[in-house]
Structure 1
């Protein structure tokens, strides 16, 4: 527990101080955000605001996790090496962040709103997701008890025993979650502090879930309610470090934002959330915990589908919302950005509360409270 608190606190401090340095550096280098021309006109004043702040979040997380491992090594009197699950989570986090960084760098270097082409971005995300999935399901990374970082069984609150997939399909499912949620967080990152604040809540939830899984670990407490997760404590440390780094970043990203996380941050956060879901055997639960990201993404899908269908059959494309993602719809209705962000945070908090409640209820139902 001490390592979790230390990792999260250190990441917060590094991010809080490091983001101020990044703002000065990126401003001096001219790494400013380009704004979509068809977006709300109120966003045009944000053109030139430093971007790629996700770099600080990633670095702060790595420092926080490393600091926690050093602390553990001192406490235990032995070197506490990162677990296989930790390496995989960091692979998804940093790997997706690297794809986002390339996208951001092209935007600021060429001074345009378009970075990587959609196909190139998807190829990069696919390489990271498939590599993560193949390694997580590999027998090479089994621990002494035969546990792999990920399972071929589809999971909700825990593994669903009767829903096992062939390895190839399991990798496809992992790919779907990693690419889907990295893009979902990216789509949600459209207002000052929206994606960062919502992500804090979901990473906080995963920190609690991992602590609970560690306390009810099958290796130390075999029972129908125990959790067959490979490295829950290490996962909790990283989730806490990411959450802490986001809180420090949010100090500067809250409205009016002095820096944006860019695709570097949003793709990294989405990839890390999906990786946590896979590694903790809670894949479908992420759809609830990250329900806000799902809703925002669905608004875009509904808008595009409705426009194409109506245009094909009537000749005139019709829209459901004034603008998507849906937070821009409320902007077009005259809502203040701060109002939208806070209300979306509340919605995200409700999703998180429902998800944690279901997780705990499942444990109680299986006799965990007895």
Structure 2
């Protein structure tokens, strides 16, 4: 909104200094600051309201015993993140941008699905929350909309079914008619992966902030013809506008981390984790870097892989030996380290360090070609 207001003022009255609002870097900075300030303003009120309403995170009986002390901590704090992202994006971005509209759509819809899941579990006291198939249907719906949009919209016409192949020069991967199913898979996978990662105080949001810092650079260079040509990557005009959204997410994430780091005052719940994971997946898809997800989102990939390995091995050994066996002491893998008596902050900080390393590898992948 402010983007159009200041652009109108600049065109009609041409006051000195107003041209700065056209620059992505300036609007991204304003978006991050607005999100950070907003999260600090609304978080205490929302946390207090959640506590008064006794909207507490259910503690699993089969989870780590150390988590029993987390009983009574309010959940659904993802509302703080969503509000602190959506408002700055509406204020400072070009909301006519198809890139912005697609990621906003995914974030809001998946946030709503996560909210329903949290509401049913915490308020209505349904143990499983939203039935898994309904949650999956929602994720598939978002994937179908995003995949169809990228397939048919003129902004993506040159590369609609293609994606960048990391570490290879002048080589893209074309999914052809399988592109839309691929997009559905990516969005479903990333939203669930971040959801699985959200098991320790500050883990999901902290790693997401690091991932977003790298993604901001990727989005910016993809939308800049000079940098895209220099790095020999796909040039997608307008994709740089995503940096305004990413900056808002970073600002909102930092504000939320203030209250979410150990010992947490609030958990994001599925309201936040599904929305954040979906937003990450959509942005990687629209800037054509989706094959980089296992590296940049390596922590989320490892968390998901640990659950898959644990379940498959348990079923296999139970069928073969009559007794299920485990690869990890507990899955997802962050719980494995808890069972090794690692302190929770130690696990979280080490996962941060790994995410930073993976982010650096992701950024250098375009020069090692």
Correspondences of 1:241-252 after superposition (within 5 Å): 241-252=248-259
Kept in 2, the 8 Å contact 1:100–1:262? The answer is yes
Specify the alignment match of 2:294 in structure 1: 287
Specify the alignment match of 1:14 in structure 2: 38
Q: Return the offset for 1:9.
A: 1.4
Distance between the aligned counterparts of 2:149 and 2:159, measured in 1? 9
Segments of 5+ residues of structure 2 without an aligned counterpart are 1-24
Residue 54 of structure 2, aligned match among 3, 26, 30: 30
In the alignment, is residue 61 of structure 1 matched against residue 71 of structure 2?
Answer: no
In the alignment, is residue 185 of structure 1 matched against residue 185 of structure 2?
Answer: no
Distance between the aligned counterparts of 1:276 and 1:253, measured in 2? 25
Distance between the aligned counterparts of 1:237 and 1:91, measured in 2? 15
The SS at the match of 1:154 is strand
Correspondences of 1:136-285 after superposition (within 5 Å): 136-138=150-152, 141-143=153-155, 147-148=156-157, 151-157=160-166, 163-167=173-177, 169-216=178-225, 225=232, 227-285=234-292
TM-score, normalised to structure 1, is: 0.88
Distance between the aligned counterparts of 1:320 and 1:108, measured in 2? 31
Distance between the aligned counterparts of 2:235 and 2:103, measured in 1? 17
Distance between the aligned counterparts of 1:130 and 1:26, measured in 2? 34
Kept in 2, the 8 Å contact 1:300–1:325? The answer is yes
CA-to-aligned-CA distance 1:11-34 (integer Å, 9 cap, x gap)? 111112211111011111221111
Q: Return the offset for 1:217.
A: 5.5
Correspondences of 1:34-113 after superposition (within 5 Å): 34-69=58-93, 80-113=94-127
Kept in 2, the 8 Å contact 1:5–1:240? The answer is yes
Kept in 2, the 8 Å contact 1:187–1:297? The answer is yes
Distance between the aligned counterparts of 2:33 and 2:60, measured in 1? 36
How many correspondences in the alignment?
344
Distance between the aligned counterparts of 2:265 and 2:351, measured in 1? 21
The SS at the match of 1:137 is helix
Residue 311 of structure 1, aligned match among 312, 315, 318: 318
Specify the alignment match of 2:12 in structure 1: none
Kept in 1, the 8 Å contact 2:81–2:272? The answer is yes
The SS at the match of 1:163 is strand
Q: Return the offset for 1:46.
A: 1.4
How large is the RMSD of aligned CA atoms in angstroms?
2.0
